[in-house]
A and B are shown apart, each in its own frame.
Chain A
Amino acid sequence: DTEVTQTPKHLVMGMTNKKSLKCEQHMGHRAMYWYKQKAKKPPELMFVYSYEKLSINESVPSRFSPECPNSSLLNLHLHALQPEDSALYLCASSRVTGPQETQYFGPGTRLLVL
Chain B
Amino acid sequence: AQSVTQLDSQVPVFEEAPVELRCNYSSSVSVYLFWYVQYPNQGLQLLLKYLSGSTLVESINGFEAEFNKSQTSFHLRKPSVHISDTAEYFCAVTNTGTASKLTFGTGTRLQVTL
Contacts and interface: CB of A to CB of B under 8 A. Distances in A.
B62 interface: no
Contact of B100 (A4, A43, A97): A97
B56 interface: no
The majority secondary structure among interface residues of chain B is loop
Interface string A17-34: 000000000000001010
Contacts of A42: 90, 104-107
Given A42-B105, A42-B106, A106-B43, A99 B94 contact: yes
A40 B90 CA distance: 11
Interface in A75-112: 90, 92, 94, 97-108, 110
Contacts of A56: 99-101
A42 B89 CA distance: 10
Contacts of A40: 107
Interface string B20-40: 000000000000101010000
A107 to B, nearest CB: 5
Interface of B: 32, 34, 36, 41-46, 49, 51, 90, 94-96, 98-102, 104-107
Nearest to A4: B43
Given A31-B100, A56-B100, 7 more contacts: A6-B43, A40-B107, A41-B106, A42-B90, A42-B105, A105-B36, A107-B42
Which size class do A's interface residues fall under? 20 to 34
Given A42-B107, A102-B49, A94 B43 contact: no
Contacts of A105: 36, 43-45
